[in-house]
A and B are shown apart, each in its own frame.
Chain A
């Protein structure tokens, strides 16, 4: 015996009507009238909304059985995931750079998020209104509103089917990532299977392994540049203090001769000019706030300001401070000698160097800019020199250097991206970058537009840092030893470059 629709049934019928006439109906209107064709992800999100409405029809007809409510919750949850996945493609772009036409100022992929979240909320309300005898088995008479909802559903779904046939084609064709404008003219239709191309991946371009300079080939003879001159190590020095972690970069202050050493264990050490005495030290807390991966760069920024950089391009500014507040600094440091304050902790933003790690930091006092050089990964094979203004720490330039005349690749597939730069320093108008891979010293103009010269440096073992001392370059190694190089004579840029 059919039961008459109750209050919850009436609400449900109106929910189906609103869903089909609102977001789904508007999408059909946008497509058939405005020519706005959905992409393959939009199609799935729209279909999910249609299926939620269909579950509503099931409940109108058969009552709120657990399997229908469960199906609605699953569809709502899956729809929220789809909206997040789809929106992630576009939400982080710049102002006004959304994909396709907005509705009331919001793009459709974001509306899908709202709709599916609302569906979950409505299901919760309906469950609150549910009475114990509502879930009784049997067929129900949907009532006038329910019949209208069913009729509207069929009409709107038929419109979707027509649009889908023209836009995506019959099986096996599927939707496209970047579909063409809707047309009733079959000559304009594009039926494609292009979305099936490409390897399956969980994180796509974000699958970037952490850099590990210990696994690179140190032999200069195997490097990407042919016939390089050799720059021999003229002497060795040693960091004479015990460090917490492995030495990962070394900087020298030309004004005072002091050194700044950092380790992969987030240790920061201000050393005297003989590398034998610790003047100050802290171990940074890497996780309470902005995530610090292992430290890989160090630089003096003039005065007493120290900059350290982690491989994920997060940086910390520190300052020796005899009046440091121990309670304030407790949040910043896992351990400290009590004489250091943290000034700032943030991240460098990059465009060309995005999704790439760095293992070097240099400071150019003439331009008052900080410099990093990317290391390649299987996903992104580029060597990018990025510069950041000291004033606001925003990018100034990001360049992929070219080779000067006279430097030639050692093979057709060999490029500067084969290098793994683990140390950099700006001195006397040149940017020096040392690659742990193939033990090669690159000499560039300060902006990183061109590699003017390159030298093979045999004998290095896991070089992790580079700094300058007068006419010398000092190469820090992971074992704490410092290789001394006599700086090569400056190279002139080729005429016209």
Chain B
């Protein structure tokens, strides 16, 4: 999934640089990538969502 996320990022960056008129699509890809990144982190920490310390 990390590989997929970097492809999404590459797509968004390409649009910003070479197809600036597609701003809305690029922004939606940015949001999608952020959500995927956050989801993957939460998957990796789902057995203890907050830091493993004496809160």
Chain A residues within CB distance 8 Å of chain B: 39-41, 43-45, 47-48, 50-51, 54-55, 57-58, 61-62, 67, 71, 74-75, 78, 82, 84-85, 87-89, 92, 139, 142, 147, 150, 153-154, 157-158, 160-161, 164-165, 167-175, 177, 195-196, 198-206
Contacts and interface: CB of A to CB of B under 8 A. Distances in A.
B38 A40 contact: no
Contacts of B55: 203, 206
A354 B43 CA distance: 26
Contact of A157 (B13, B16, B27, B52): B13
Contacts of B2: 43, 47, 164, 167-168, 174-175
Nearest to A146: B17
28 contacts: A47-B5, A51-B30, A54-B12, A54-B16, A57-B16, A61-B17, A62-B23, A78-B38, A85-B45, A139-B23, A142-B17, A153-B13, A154-B17, A157-B10, A168-B2, A168-B3, A171-B1, A174-B1, A175-B1, A175-B40, A198-B46, A200-B46, A202-B49, A203-B49, A204-B47, A205-B52, A206-B53, A206-B55
Interface in B1-55: 1-7, 9-10, 12-14, 16-17, 20-21, 23, 26-27, 30-31, 33-34, 37-38, 40-41, 43-55
Given A54-B9, A177-B44, A202-B49, A171 B33 contact: no
Nearest to A2: B20
Contacts of B20: 61-62, 139
A154 B6 CA distance: 10
A200 B47 contact: yes
B51 A160 contact: no
B3 A171 contact: yes
Interface of B: 1-7, 9-10, 12-14, 16-17, 20-21, 23, 26-27, 30-31, 33-34, 37-38, 40-41, 43-55
Contact of B48 (A43, A57, A201): A201
Contacts of A206: 48, 52-55
A47 B13 contact: no
Looking at chain A's contact residues, is the secondary structure mostly helix, strand, loop, or mixed? Answer: helix
A456 B49 CA distance: 43
A196 B45 CA distance: 9
Contact of A40 (B5, B13, B17, B43): B43
Contacts of A200: 46-47, 49
A196 B43 contact: yes
A204 B10 contact: no
Given A177-B44, A202-B48, A204-B52, A44 B17 contact: no
B4 A170 contact: yes
Interface centre among A170, A175, A196 (most CB of B within 10 A): A175
Contacts of B48: 201-206
Contact of A85 (B13, B23, B50): B50
Given A40-B44, A78-B38, A161 B7 contact: yes
Given A61-B20, A78-B38, 19 more contacts: A40-B44, A43-B40, A44-B38, A47-B33, A47-B40, A58-B30, A71-B31, A71-B34, A87-B51, A150-B16, A153-B13, A154-B14, A161-B10, A168-B3, A175-B1, A177-B44, A195-B44, A198-B47, A199-B47
Contact of B41 (A41, A67, A201): A41
Nearest to A167: B2
A200 B48 CA distance: 7
Contact of A169 (B3, B27, B30): B3
B27 A51 contact: no
A75 B33 CA distance: 11
Nearest to B51: A88
A44 B37 contact: yes
A67 B27 CA distance: 10
A85 to B, nearest CB: 5
Interface centre among B7, B21, B34 (most CB of A within 10 A): B34
Contacts of A48: 37
A208 to B, nearest CB: 10
Contacts of A167: 2
